[in-house]
Chain A
Amino acid sequence: MMARKHAYYRGVRMAPYDLIREFLIALSVVTVLVIILASVLSSPDEPPLTLKGIARAAPQSYVQTALNELDGSSGISDYGPPYNNGSGAVQSIGPISVQQLVGVHIPVNTAQDFVLGPLAEVAPTNPAWKAALNRYTAASPKQQAAWTNAYNTALAKAKTQGTGLIVPSCACGPVPTMMAAMLTLGQRGAMDGLLLTSRQFYQTDYTRPLLFTADPDNNFVAARATAFNLQGNQWGVMNETGNYPGQAWLWLYSLFYQIPPYTTAWAANTDALAVFSVTILTLILMFLPWIPGLNRLPRYLGVYRLIWKDWYREERRRTEPPVETATPEVQV
Protein backbone atom coordinates (compact mmCIF):
# COMPACT_ATOMS: atom_id res chain seq x y z
CA MET A 1 0.00 0.00 0.00
CA MET A 2 2.75 2.41 0.95
CA ALA A 3 4.75 1.58 -2.19
CA ARG A 4 1.65 2.34 -4.22
CA LYS A 5 1.24 5.68 -2.47
CA HIS A 6 4.90 6.58 -3.04
CA ALA A 7 4.55 5.63 -6.69
CA TYR A 8 1.43 7.81 -6.90
CA TYR A 9 3.30 10.79 -5.53
CA ARG A 10 6.34 10.26 -7.81
CA GLY A 11 7.13 13.45 -9.65
CA VAL A 12 4.79 15.52 -7.47
CA ARG A 13 6.29 18.55 -5.77
CA MET A 14 6.22 18.00 -2.01
CA ALA A 15 6.22 20.74 0.60
CA PRO A 16 6.56 20.80 4.40
CA TYR A 17 3.20 20.42 6.12
CA ASP A 18 2.58 20.46 9.88
CA LEU A 19 -0.59 18.41 10.41
CA ILE A 20 -0.54 18.71 14.20
CA ARG A 21 -0.09 22.49 14.13
CA GLU A 22 -2.92 22.71 11.60
CA PHE A 23 -5.20 20.62 13.83
CA LEU A 24 -4.39 22.67 16.95
CA ILE A 25 -5.04 25.94 15.12
CA ALA A 26 -8.33 24.58 13.73
CA LEU A 27 -9.37 23.38 17.20
CA SER A 28 -8.53 26.76 18.73
CA VAL A 29 -10.37 28.75 16.06
CA VAL A 30 -13.47 26.52 16.16
CA THR A 31 -13.48 26.58 19.98
CA VAL A 32 -13.36 30.39 20.07
CA LEU A 33 -16.05 30.58 17.38
CA VAL A 34 -18.35 28.20 19.27
CA ILE A 35 -17.79 30.00 22.60
CA ILE A 36 -18.68 33.34 20.98
CA LEU A 37 -21.81 31.90 19.31
CA ALA A 38 -22.91 30.16 22.53
CA SER A 39 -22.32 33.30 24.61
CA VAL A 40 -24.07 35.69 22.25
CA LEU A 41 -26.85 33.54 20.79
CA SER A 42 -27.39 30.87 23.51
CA SER A 43 -29.62 27.93 22.45
CA PRO A 44 -33.36 27.26 22.30
CA ASP A 45 -35.16 25.62 25.22
CA GLU A 46 -38.91 26.04 24.89
CA PRO A 47 -40.49 24.22 27.87
CA PRO A 48 -42.26 20.96 27.03
CA LEU A 49 -46.02 20.75 26.97
CA THR A 50 -47.68 18.87 29.79
CA LEU A 51 -51.18 17.45 29.83
CA LYS A 52 -51.72 19.58 32.91
CA GLY A 53 -50.83 22.70 30.95
CA ILE A 54 -52.98 21.73 27.96
CA ALA A 55 -55.97 20.79 30.13
CA ARG A 56 -55.80 24.17 31.89
CA ALA A 57 -55.08 26.32 28.82
CA ALA A 58 -57.43 24.59 26.38
CA PRO A 59 -59.92 22.39 28.28
CA GLN A 60 -62.22 21.95 25.28
CA SER A 61 -59.41 20.74 23.02
CA TYR A 62 -58.17 18.43 25.78
CA VAL A 63 -61.62 16.90 26.40
CA GLN A 64 -62.25 16.57 22.65
CA THR A 65 -59.00 14.61 22.34
CA ALA A 66 -59.97 12.39 25.28
CA LEU A 67 -63.41 11.78 23.77
CA ASN A 68 -61.92 10.86 20.39
CA GLU A 69 -59.53 8.45 22.10
CA LEU A 70 -62.52 6.88 23.87
CA ASP A 71 -64.81 6.51 20.86
CA GLY A 72 -61.98 5.39 18.56
CA SER A 73 -62.10 8.33 16.17
CA SER A 74 -58.74 9.92 17.03
CA GLY A 75 -55.72 9.99 14.76
CA ILE A 76 -54.01 7.36 16.90
CA SER A 77 -57.05 5.08 17.42
CA ASP A 78 -57.03 4.05 13.77
CA TYR A 79 -53.33 4.74 13.08
CA GLY A 80 -52.19 1.26 12.11
CA PRO A 81 -48.84 -0.45 12.72
CA PRO A 82 -46.80 -0.36 14.87
CA TYR A 83 -49.55 0.74 17.33
CA ASN A 84 -52.67 -1.13 16.22
CA ASN A 85 -54.39 -2.81 13.30
CA GLY A 86 -56.05 0.35 11.98
CA SER A 87 -55.42 1.81 8.56
CA GLY A 88 -55.63 5.58 9.07
CA ALA A 89 -51.89 6.27 8.80
CA VAL A 90 -50.76 3.20 6.86
CA GLN A 91 -48.54 4.18 3.95
CA SER A 92 -47.14 2.26 1.04
CA ILE A 93 -44.70 2.58 -1.81
CA GLY A 94 -46.56 1.32 -4.85
CA PRO A 95 -48.25 -1.94 -3.86
CA ILE A 96 -45.87 -2.60 -0.94
CA SER A 97 -46.57 -1.42 2.60
CA VAL A 98 -43.54 -2.22 4.75
CA GLN A 99 -45.45 -0.64 7.63
CA GLN A 100 -48.11 -3.35 7.45
CA LEU A 101 -45.60 -6.11 6.79
CA VAL A 102 -43.76 -5.25 10.02
CA GLY A 103 -47.01 -5.29 12.01
CA VAL A 104 -47.96 -4.22 15.53
CA HIS A 105 -44.97 -3.97 17.89
CA ILE A 106 -45.97 -1.18 20.29
CA PRO A 107 -49.64 -1.97 21.01
CA VAL A 108 -51.82 1.05 21.78
CA ASN A 109 -55.56 0.78 22.42
CA THR A 110 -56.52 4.42 22.83
CA ALA A 111 -59.83 3.85 24.65
CA GLN A 112 -58.24 1.51 27.18
CA ASP A 113 -54.77 3.08 27.47
CA PHE A 114 -55.72 6.77 27.38
CA VAL A 115 -59.14 6.89 29.08
CA LEU A 116 -60.55 3.70 30.64
CA GLY A 117 -57.24 2.53 32.13
CA PRO A 118 -56.32 5.84 33.82
CA LEU A 119 -59.91 6.23 35.08
CA ALA A 120 -59.86 2.69 36.49
CA GLU A 121 -56.68 3.57 38.41
CA VAL A 122 -58.33 6.48 40.23
CA ALA A 123 -62.02 5.42 40.24
CA PRO A 124 -61.80 3.76 43.68
CA THR A 125 -61.13 7.21 45.18
CA ASN A 126 -64.37 8.70 43.80
CA PRO A 127 -67.72 6.83 43.91
CA ALA A 128 -69.27 8.93 41.12
CA TRP A 129 -66.36 8.21 38.78
CA LYS A 130 -66.46 4.52 39.71
CA ALA A 131 -70.18 4.30 38.98
CA ALA A 132 -69.83 6.09 35.64
CA LEU A 133 -66.95 3.88 34.58
CA ASN A 134 -68.82 0.71 35.56
CA ARG A 135 -71.93 1.84 33.68
CA TYR A 136 -69.92 2.65 30.56
CA THR A 137 -67.92 -0.57 30.49
CA ALA A 138 -71.05 -2.66 31.11
CA ALA A 139 -72.93 -1.06 28.19
CA SER A 140 -73.05 -2.49 24.68
CA PRO A 141 -70.77 -0.96 22.01
CA LYS A 142 -73.87 0.47 20.33
CA GLN A 143 -74.97 2.21 23.53
CA GLN A 144 -71.43 3.48 24.14
CA ALA A 145 -71.34 4.94 20.62
CA ALA A 146 -74.72 6.64 21.14
CA TRP A 147 -73.44 8.27 24.34
CA THR A 148 -70.15 9.43 22.85
CA ASN A 149 -71.84 10.74 19.69
CA ALA A 150 -74.30 12.74 21.76
CA TYR A 151 -71.49 14.09 23.91
CA ASN A 152 -69.50 14.99 20.80
CA THR A 153 -72.42 17.15 19.61
CA ALA A 154 -72.80 18.78 23.02
CA LEU A 155 -69.05 19.40 23.33
CA ALA A 156 -69.07 21.39 20.11
CA LYS A 157 -71.38 23.88 21.87
CA ALA A 158 -69.40 23.94 25.11
CA LYS A 159 -68.17 27.19 26.63
CA THR A 160 -64.88 27.73 28.35
CA GLN A 161 -64.75 29.80 31.54
CA GLY A 162 -61.19 30.18 32.76
CA THR A 163 -59.98 26.64 33.20
CA GLY A 164 -63.55 25.33 33.44
CA LEU A 165 -65.65 23.82 30.67
CA ILE A 166 -69.43 24.13 30.57
CA VAL A 167 -70.94 21.44 28.35
CA PRO A 168 -74.68 21.63 27.56
CA SER A 169 -76.70 18.81 29.11
CA CYS A 170 -77.26 15.84 26.86
CA ALA A 171 -78.45 12.24 26.83
CA CYS A 172 -74.88 11.07 27.14
CA GLY A 173 -75.14 8.51 29.95
CA PRO A 174 -71.96 8.33 32.07
CA VAL A 175 -69.75 10.07 29.50
CA PRO A 176 -70.04 13.62 30.96
CA THR A 177 -68.93 12.33 34.35
CA MET A 178 -66.05 10.40 32.77
CA MET A 179 -64.91 13.40 30.75
CA ALA A 180 -65.20 15.66 33.78
CA ALA A 181 -63.01 13.17 35.62
CA MET A 182 -60.52 13.20 32.76
CA LEU A 183 -60.41 16.99 32.87
CA THR A 184 -59.90 17.03 36.63
CA LEU A 185 -57.12 14.45 36.37
CA GLY A 186 -55.55 16.43 33.55
CA GLN A 187 -55.70 19.80 35.27
CA ARG A 188 -54.25 18.39 38.51
CA GLY A 189 -51.33 16.81 36.66
CA ALA A 190 -52.30 13.20 37.32
CA MET A 191 -52.69 12.24 33.65
CA ASP A 192 -49.03 12.97 32.90
CA GLY A 193 -48.11 10.16 35.27
CA LEU A 194 -51.01 7.83 34.53
CA LEU A 195 -50.12 7.61 30.85
CA LEU A 196 -46.52 6.53 31.32
CA THR A 197 -46.26 3.14 29.73
CA SER A 198 -43.69 1.46 31.91
CA ARG A 199 -44.94 -0.69 34.75
CA GLN A 200 -41.66 -0.30 36.55
CA PHE A 201 -40.53 2.32 39.06
CA TYR A 202 -37.99 3.83 36.65
CA GLN A 203 -39.57 5.10 33.47
CA THR A 204 -38.04 6.37 30.24
CA ASP A 205 -40.61 5.46 27.59
CA TYR A 206 -42.92 8.40 26.74
CA THR A 207 -44.71 6.75 23.81
CA ARG A 208 -48.22 6.93 25.29
CA PRO A 209 -48.03 10.41 26.88
CA LEU A 210 -46.62 11.80 23.62
CA LEU A 211 -49.21 10.06 21.45
CA PHE A 212 -51.98 11.49 23.62
CA THR A 213 -50.43 14.95 24.02
CA ALA A 214 -49.74 15.50 20.35
CA ASP A 215 -52.63 13.55 18.88
CA PRO A 216 -53.47 15.13 15.50
CA ASP A 217 -56.89 16.03 16.95
CA ASN A 218 -55.38 18.26 19.60
CA ASN A 219 -55.79 21.70 18.04
CA PHE A 220 -53.98 23.43 20.88
CA VAL A 221 -50.72 21.55 20.24
CA ALA A 222 -51.03 21.96 16.47
CA ALA A 223 -51.57 25.72 16.84
CA ARG A 224 -48.48 26.00 19.03
CA ALA A 225 -46.40 24.12 16.45
CA THR A 226 -47.75 26.34 13.66
CA ALA A 227 -46.78 29.44 15.62
CA PHE A 228 -43.20 28.16 15.74
CA ASN A 229 -43.21 27.24 12.00
CA LEU A 230 -42.82 23.58 12.86
CA GLN A 231 -45.50 22.06 10.66
CA GLY A 232 -44.41 19.82 7.80
CA ASN A 233 -45.61 22.27 5.14
CA GLN A 234 -43.64 25.05 6.90
CA TRP A 235 -40.34 23.19 6.38
CA GLY A 236 -40.89 22.03 9.97
CA VAL A 237 -38.74 18.92 9.50
CA MET A 238 -35.64 21.13 9.65
CA ASN A 239 -36.95 23.98 11.82
CA GLU A 240 -36.82 24.45 15.55
CA THR A 241 -38.29 26.95 18.00
CA GLY A 242 -36.89 30.48 18.02
CA ASN A 243 -34.57 32.04 15.47
CA TYR A 244 -32.11 29.16 15.35
CA PRO A 245 -30.79 27.27 12.35
CA GLY A 246 -32.37 23.91 13.25
CA GLN A 247 -31.44 20.79 11.31
CA ALA A 248 -30.58 22.67 8.11
CA TRP A 249 -28.90 19.54 6.76
CA LEU A 250 -32.37 17.98 6.35
CA TRP A 251 -33.33 20.55 3.69
CA LEU A 252 -33.48 18.01 0.89
CA TYR A 253 -35.70 15.64 2.86
CA SER A 254 -37.86 18.58 3.97
CA LEU A 255 -38.18 19.73 0.35
CA PHE A 256 -40.35 16.71 -0.51
CA TYR A 257 -43.02 17.92 1.93
CA GLN A 258 -43.37 21.19 -0.02
CA ILE A 259 -43.66 20.08 -3.65
CA PRO A 260 -46.16 18.19 -5.81
CA PRO A 261 -46.81 15.36 -6.40
CA TYR A 262 -45.70 14.62 -2.81
CA THR A 263 -48.23 17.19 -1.52
CA THR A 264 -50.98 16.35 -4.00
CA ALA A 265 -51.41 12.99 -5.75
CA TRP A 266 -49.01 11.24 -3.38
CA ALA A 267 -50.17 13.02 -0.22
CA ALA A 268 -51.51 9.84 1.40
CA ASN A 269 -48.03 8.30 1.23
CA THR A 270 -45.85 11.42 1.53
CA ASP A 271 -43.68 10.14 4.38
CA ALA A 272 -42.92 6.78 2.79
CA LEU A 273 -42.24 8.32 -0.62
CA ALA A 274 -40.09 11.12 0.83
CA VAL A 275 -37.98 8.53 2.70
CA PHE A 276 -37.80 6.38 -0.43
CA SER A 277 -36.78 9.33 -2.65
CA VAL A 278 -34.09 10.52 -0.23
CA THR A 279 -32.79 6.95 0.05
CA ILE A 280 -32.41 6.73 -3.75
CA LEU A 281 -30.61 10.10 -3.90
CA THR A 282 -28.37 9.09 -1.00
CA LEU A 283 -27.40 5.85 -2.73
CA ILE A 284 -26.54 7.84 -5.87
CA LEU A 285 -24.35 10.16 -3.78
CA MET A 286 -22.71 7.21 -2.03
CA PHE A 287 -21.90 5.28 -5.21
CA LEU A 288 -21.07 8.34 -7.31
CA PRO A 289 -17.49 7.15 -7.95
CA TRP A 290 -18.82 4.24 -10.02
CA ILE A 291 -21.70 5.91 -11.85
CA PRO A 292 -20.61 6.65 -15.44
CA GLY A 293 -21.06 10.26 -16.40
CA LEU A 294 -21.78 11.51 -12.91
CA ASN A 295 -18.31 10.50 -11.74
CA ARG A 296 -16.83 12.82 -14.39
CA LEU A 297 -19.11 15.72 -13.50
CA PRO A 298 -16.55 17.61 -11.35
CA ARG A 299 -14.15 17.74 -14.31
CA TYR A 300 -16.79 19.43 -16.46
CA LEU A 301 -17.97 21.77 -13.72
CA GLY A 302 -14.42 23.10 -13.45
CA VAL A 303 -14.57 24.31 -9.83
CA TYR A 304 -11.34 22.37 -9.30
CA ARG A 305 -9.50 25.07 -11.28
CA LEU A 306 -10.30 27.49 -8.49
CA ILE A 307 -9.35 25.00 -5.77
CA TRP A 308 -5.96 24.22 -7.30
CA LYS A 309 -5.32 27.52 -9.06
CA ASP A 310 -1.97 28.12 -7.29
CA TRP A 311 -0.80 24.62 -8.19
CA TYR A 312 -1.78 25.04 -11.82
CA ARG A 313 -0.10 28.47 -12.02
CA GLU A 314 3.12 27.02 -10.65
CA GLU A 315 2.93 24.00 -12.94
CA ARG A 316 2.42 26.26 -15.98
CA ARG A 317 5.35 28.39 -14.95
CA ARG A 318 7.49 25.29 -14.73
CA THR A 319 6.42 23.84 -18.09
CA GLU A 320 6.54 27.07 -20.10
CA PRO A 321 9.87 27.60 -21.91
CA PRO A 322 11.85 30.59 -20.64
CA VAL A 323 11.16 33.77 -22.64
CA GLU A 324 14.23 34.87 -24.59
CA THR A 325 14.85 38.58 -24.36
CA ALA A 326 16.80 40.50 -27.02
CA THR A 327 20.35 41.16 -26.05
CA PRO A 328 21.20 44.87 -26.20
CA GLU A 329 23.92 45.87 -28.62
CA VAL A 330 27.22 46.37 -26.94
CA GLN A 331 29.92 48.51 -28.40
CA VAL A 332 33.27 46.89 -28.26
Chain B
Amino acid sequence: MSLTRRTQQALAENLPYEELLPYEQPAYVHSYVYLFGVASLASFILLIVTGIVLAAFGPQWWHFSAVGHFFNSLHFWSVQAFFFFMVVHLWATFFQGAWRDGRGLTWVVGVVTFLVSILTAFTGYISQQNFDAQWIAVQAKDAMNSVGVGAFFNVLNFGQMYGFHIFLLPLAVGVLIAIHLTMVRMRGVVKPYPLDEKGREVTS
Protein backbone atom coordinates (compact mmCIF):
# COMPACT_ATOMS: atom_id res chain seq x y z
CA MET B 1 0.00 0.00 0.00
CA SER B 2 1.30 3.45 -0.80
CA LEU B 3 2.31 5.76 2.02
CA THR B 4 0.01 8.46 0.65
CA ARG B 5 -3.02 6.16 0.73
CA ARG B 6 -2.14 4.91 4.18
CA THR B 7 -1.78 8.50 5.46
CA GLN B 8 -5.08 9.47 3.85
CA GLN B 9 -6.86 6.55 5.53
CA ALA B 10 -5.28 7.29 8.90
CA LEU B 11 -6.40 10.92 8.68
CA ALA B 12 -9.88 9.93 7.55
CA GLU B 13 -10.21 7.52 10.48
CA ASN B 14 -8.57 9.60 13.18
CA LEU B 15 -9.15 13.15 12.17
CA PRO B 16 -12.11 13.64 9.83
CA TYR B 17 -12.77 17.30 9.04
CA GLU B 18 -16.13 17.26 10.81
CA GLU B 19 -14.26 16.44 14.03
CA LEU B 20 -11.76 19.25 13.46
CA LEU B 21 -14.61 21.73 13.22
CA PRO B 22 -17.54 20.27 15.13
CA TYR B 23 -20.70 22.40 15.24
CA GLU B 24 -21.82 21.08 18.58
CA GLN B 25 -20.08 20.54 21.90
CA PRO B 26 -21.03 18.97 25.22
CA ALA B 27 -23.30 21.35 27.13
CA TYR B 28 -20.73 21.70 29.94
CA VAL B 29 -18.45 23.57 27.54
CA HIS B 30 -20.83 26.54 27.87
CA SER B 31 -18.72 28.20 30.57
CA TYR B 32 -16.69 31.40 30.35
CA VAL B 33 -13.63 29.53 31.52
CA TYR B 34 -13.32 27.85 28.12
CA LEU B 35 -12.85 31.23 26.42
CA PHE B 36 -9.30 31.69 27.75
CA GLY B 37 -7.92 29.00 25.43
CA VAL B 38 -9.31 30.67 22.32
CA ALA B 39 -8.26 34.10 23.67
CA SER B 40 -4.69 32.75 23.95
CA LEU B 41 -4.89 31.61 20.33
CA ALA B 42 -6.22 35.02 19.24
CA SER B 43 -3.35 36.76 21.06
CA PHE B 44 -0.85 34.44 19.37
CA ILE B 45 -2.27 35.36 15.94
CA LEU B 46 -1.86 39.06 16.84
CA LEU B 47 1.71 38.38 17.97
CA ILE B 48 2.55 36.75 14.65
CA VAL B 49 0.95 39.54 12.58
CA THR B 50 2.64 42.38 14.51
CA GLY B 51 5.88 40.38 14.65
CA ILE B 52 5.87 39.96 10.86
CA VAL B 53 5.52 43.75 10.43
CA LEU B 54 8.38 44.41 12.89
CA ALA B 55 10.60 41.76 11.28
CA ALA B 56 9.85 43.07 7.78
CA PHE B 57 11.16 46.54 8.64
CA GLY B 58 14.17 45.30 10.64
CA PRO B 59 15.16 45.35 14.31
CA GLN B 60 16.04 49.07 14.43
CA TRP B 61 12.96 50.50 12.68
CA TRP B 62 10.78 50.87 15.75
CA HIS B 63 13.38 52.98 17.58
CA PHE B 64 13.17 55.91 15.18
CA SER B 65 9.72 55.56 13.58
CA ALA B 66 6.49 56.52 15.35
CA VAL B 67 4.63 53.91 13.30
CA GLY B 68 7.30 51.36 14.18
CA HIS B 69 7.01 52.21 17.87
CA PHE B 70 3.23 51.76 17.69
CA PHE B 71 3.67 48.31 16.13
CA ASN B 72 6.17 47.49 18.86
CA SER B 73 3.56 48.55 21.43
CA LEU B 74 0.98 46.31 19.73
CA HIS B 75 3.47 43.44 19.82
CA PHE B 76 4.34 44.20 23.46
CA TRP B 77 0.73 44.21 24.67
CA SER B 78 -0.07 41.14 22.58
CA VAL B 79 2.64 39.33 24.54
CA GLN B 80 1.12 40.47 27.82
CA ALA B 81 -2.35 39.40 26.66
CA PHE B 82 -1.03 36.05 25.38
CA PHE B 83 0.58 35.20 28.71
CA PHE B 84 -2.35 36.46 30.77
CA PHE B 85 -4.86 34.33 28.84
CA MET B 86 -2.52 31.34 28.68
CA VAL B 87 -1.85 31.38 32.43
CA VAL B 88 -5.58 31.63 33.22
CA HIS B 89 -6.18 28.78 30.73
CA LEU B 90 -3.47 26.74 32.48
CA TRP B 91 -5.04 27.32 35.91
CA ALA B 92 -8.54 26.61 34.58
CA THR B 93 -7.48 23.30 33.04
CA PHE B 94 -5.67 22.44 36.28
CA PHE B 95 -8.81 23.08 38.37
CA GLN B 96 -10.79 20.95 35.90
CA GLY B 97 -8.28 18.09 36.20
CA ALA B 98 -8.30 18.27 32.41
CA TRP B 99 -5.72 15.48 32.07
CA ARG B 100 -8.28 12.87 33.13
CA ASP B 101 -9.60 10.08 30.90
CA GLY B 102 -6.45 9.72 28.77
CA ARG B 103 -5.65 13.40 28.21
CA GLY B 104 -2.26 13.44 29.98
CA LEU B 105 -0.31 14.04 26.78
CA THR B 106 -2.54 17.00 25.88
CA TRP B 107 -1.61 18.54 29.25
CA VAL B 108 2.11 17.87 28.66
CA VAL B 109 1.99 19.53 25.22
CA GLY B 110 0.22 22.53 26.81
CA VAL B 111 2.91 22.89 29.50
CA VAL B 112 5.68 22.57 26.90
CA THR B 113 3.94 25.28 24.83
CA PHE B 114 3.98 27.52 27.90
CA LEU B 115 7.71 26.89 28.46
CA VAL B 116 8.68 27.51 24.83
CA SER B 117 6.55 30.67 24.91
CA ILE B 118 8.56 31.91 27.90
CA LEU B 119 11.78 31.32 25.96
CA THR B 120 10.29 33.12 22.94
CA ALA B 121 9.34 36.15 25.02
CA PHE B 122 12.75 36.12 26.71
CA THR B 123 14.61 36.21 23.38
CA GLY B 124 12.28 39.03 22.35
CA TYR B 125 13.22 41.07 25.38
CA ILE B 126 16.94 40.70 24.58
CA SER B 127 16.39 41.47 20.88
CA GLN B 128 14.94 44.93 21.62
CA GLN B 129 18.28 46.76 21.20
CA ASN B 130 17.64 49.07 24.17
CA PHE B 131 18.75 49.26 27.81
CA ASP B 132 16.33 46.53 28.84
CA ALA B 133 17.88 44.22 26.26
CA GLN B 134 21.41 45.03 27.43
CA TRP B 135 20.68 44.55 31.11
CA ILE B 136 18.50 41.45 30.79
CA ALA B 137 21.09 39.78 28.55
CA VAL B 138 23.99 40.57 30.85
CA GLN B 139 22.10 39.32 33.91
CA ALA B 140 20.67 36.25 32.19
CA LYS B 141 24.09 35.13 31.00
CA ASP B 142 24.98 34.15 34.57
CA ALA B 143 21.99 31.82 34.87
CA MET B 144 22.65 30.34 31.41
CA ASN B 145 26.38 29.92 32.11
CA SER B 146 25.82 28.42 35.57
CA VAL B 147 24.18 25.34 34.03
CA GLY B 148 26.40 25.17 30.94
CA VAL B 149 23.80 26.43 28.46
CA GLY B 150 25.44 29.81 27.83
CA ALA B 151 28.25 28.24 25.85
CA PHE B 152 25.78 27.30 23.10
CA PHE B 153 22.86 29.68 23.66
CA ASN B 154 24.76 32.95 23.98
CA VAL B 155 22.32 35.62 25.16
CA LEU B 156 24.90 38.33 24.38
CA ASN B 157 24.93 37.35 20.70
CA PHE B 158 22.20 39.50 19.17
CA GLY B 159 22.21 37.67 15.83
CA GLN B 160 21.66 34.29 17.46
CA MET B 161 18.91 35.55 19.78
CA TYR B 162 17.13 37.46 17.00
CA GLY B 163 17.09 34.35 14.81
CA PHE B 164 15.63 32.32 17.65
CA HIS B 165 13.05 35.01 18.39
CA ILE B 166 11.67 35.76 14.96
CA PHE B 167 11.76 32.28 13.44
CA LEU B 168 12.76 29.16 15.36
CA LEU B 169 10.82 29.67 18.60
CA PRO B 170 7.59 31.15 17.13
CA LEU B 171 7.56 28.25 14.68
CA ALA B 172 7.90 25.83 17.60
CA VAL B 173 5.08 27.57 19.53
CA GLY B 174 2.84 27.50 16.44
CA VAL B 175 3.46 23.80 15.84
CA LEU B 176 2.89 22.99 19.52
CA ILE B 177 -0.40 24.94 19.55
CA ALA B 178 -1.51 23.06 16.43
CA ILE B 179 -0.69 19.71 18.06
CA HIS B 180 -2.43 20.78 21.30
CA LEU B 181 -5.60 21.83 19.47
CA THR B 182 -5.62 18.69 17.33
CA MET B 183 -5.33 16.53 20.45
CA VAL B 184 -8.24 18.40 22.06
CA ARG B 185 -10.35 17.86 18.93
CA MET B 186 -9.42 14.17 18.67
CA ARG B 187 -10.07 13.30 22.32
CA GLY B 188 -12.86 15.76 23.04
CA VAL B 189 -13.26 18.01 26.07
CA VAL B 190 -12.92 16.33 29.45
CA LYS B 191 -16.17 15.68 31.34
CA PRO B 192 -16.94 17.41 34.64
CA TYR B 193 -16.16 15.42 37.77
CA PRO B 194 -19.06 13.01 38.13
CA LEU B 195 -22.14 13.40 40.33
CA ASP B 196 -23.26 10.64 42.70
CA GLU B 197 -26.65 8.96 42.59
CA LYS B 198 -28.13 11.85 44.62
CA GLY B 199 -26.86 14.43 42.20
CA ARG B 200 -23.97 15.64 44.41
CA GLU B 201 -20.39 16.06 43.20
CA VAL B 202 -18.25 13.05 44.03
CA THR B 203 -15.40 14.41 46.15
CA SER B 204 -13.38 11.29 46.94
Contact = CB atoms under 8 A, between A and B. Distances in A.
A82 B159 contact: no
Dominant secondary structure of chain A at its interface with chain B: helix
Interface bracket on A: 35 or more
Interface stretch (A98-106, A109-117, A164-172, A184-192): A98-106
B158 interface: yes
B162 A298 contact: no
Nearest to A91: B146
A326 interface: no
Contacts of A237: 139
Nearest to A298: B97
Contacts of B137: 210
Nearest to B82: A30
A199 interface: no
B130 to A, nearest CB: 5
B151 A298 contact: no
Interface bracket on B: 35 or more
Nearest to B114: A249
Contacts of B27: 12-15, 311, 314
Contact of B25 (A14, A26, A37, A307): A14
B164 to A, nearest CB: 12
A29 B38 CA distance: 11
Contacts of A300: 203
A207 B145 CA distance: 13
Interface in A239-266: 240-241, 244-245, 247-250
B95 A304 contact: yes
Contacts of A244: 76
Nearest to B74: A38
Contact of B45 (A27, A41, A308): A27
A146 interface: no
Nearest to A302: B203
A58 to B, nearest CB: 15
A322 interface: no
A288 B131 contact: no
A279 to B, nearest CB: 9
A206 B62 CA distance: 20
Contacts of A245: 80
Interface of A: 1-2, 4-5, 8-9, 12-20, 22-23, 26-27, 29-31, 33-35, 37-39, 41-49, 79-82, 89, 91, 98-99, 101-103, 105-106, 204-207, 210-211, 213-214, 224-225, 228, 230, 232, 236-237, 240-241, 244-245, 247-250, 269, 271-272, 274-276, 282, 285-290, 295-296, 298-305, 307-308, 310-312, 314-316, 319-320
Interface of B: 13-16, 19, 21-31, 33, 35, 38-39, 41-43, 45-46, 62-63, 69-70, 72-78, 80-81, 83, 85, 87, 92, 94-97, 99-101, 103-104, 107-108, 111-112, 115, 118, 121-122, 125, 128-139, 142-143, 145-148, 150-152, 154, 156-160, 162, 186-188, 191-193, 195, 199, 201-204
Given A4-B187, A43-B69, 7 more contacts: A12-B191, A20-B21, A22-B35, A31-B42, A41-B77, A79-B145, A230-B135
* Interface pairs A-B: 4 shortest CB-CB: A204-B159, A289-B99, A38-B73, A289-B104
